[in-house]
Amino acid sequence: MIRFCWVLVFYLISTTGISQVKDSSSHDKSGSYLKFSPTLNCGIHVNLQDIYIDFGAGAFERTTRLGAQLNFAFRPYYKKVQLYQEPNIIRQWKEKKYCLSLDIYKRLLEFDLAKINASFLLGTKTGYLFGDYRGTRLRPKAGFTFNPLIGISFDLNGISLDLAYLHFSDRLASVADGRLMLSFNVLLN
């Protein structure tokens, strides 16, 4: 399955030169074809055992369809976790996690789906994951995280609805890393 996903990713990347349309009317006097638009983002990452809510802001370049956002994701509640310290010692804490990330994504192969403009979405959420436990000074192990995502994006007249699979490793053995990401991106101009 993983091998198939990588083949699909490399196939999509190799065909983007054919599918992207250059708009010659967007060419200005300076010779630059790049058109950056500011964006606002809100969304959720969810699986059957956990949920994160994220907010962010960034920029989207319309001709290359490449975007970057600074996001802040958090778990809106304290989750009960168990830590195995020794063979006979298990500690149980209530944990809250946060993730400050730089999200970079590319929309590929534009197509129509039920009269809605859609495209494939490929990207990554790279950032710093940290948190705290309720009732103690101990903290969960913090550090940098790299979370790839792949999915589909629907353009709804200036609002982009992204539905993607996100491999989000929050360093918990009891929670699966695979998540469904639902995100709304609003272009501000």
Instruction: For residue 116, give the CATH number of its domain.
Output: 2.40.160.20
DSSP-assigned letters across all residues of 94-146? EEEEEEEEEEEEEEEEEEEETTEEEEEEEEEEEEEEEEEETTSS--PPPEEEE
Q: How confident is the model at residue 71 (pLDDT cuts 50, 70, 90)?
A: very high
pLDDT for the residue numbered 6: 57
Domain range for 180 is 35-187
**58 assigned to some structural domain:** yes
C-alpha span between 107 and 118 (Å, rounded):
9
Neighbours of 137 (CB within 10 A): 6
Mean pLDDT of the chain: 79
Into how many domains does the chain fold? 1
pLDDT for the residue numbered 132: 73
End-to-end CA, the chain = 40
Amino acid identity of 71? N
Q: Which residues have CB under 8 Å from 11's CB, separation 6+? A: none
- Mean pLDDT score, 76-96: 77
DSSP-assigned letters across all residues of 152-184? EEEEETTEEEEEEEEE---S-TTS-SEEEEEEE
From 23, 75, 84, 68, select the one nearest 49 (Cα to Cα).
75
> 96 with 73: CB under 8 angstroms?
no
**127 assigned to some structural domain:** yes
Tens-place pLDDT, residues 20-40: 455 545 445 555 677 888 999
* pTM across the whole model: 0.73
> 150 with 164: CB under 8 angstroms?
yes
**28 assigned to some structural domain:** no
**179 assigned to some structural domain:** yes
Question: Is the confidence at residue 138, as pLDDT, over 70?
Answer: no
C-alpha span between 52 and 75 (Å, rounded):
5
Q: Which residues have CB under 8 Å from 129's CB, separation 6+? A: 97, 98, 99, 142, 143, 144, 145, 170, 171
**15 assigned to some structural domain:** no
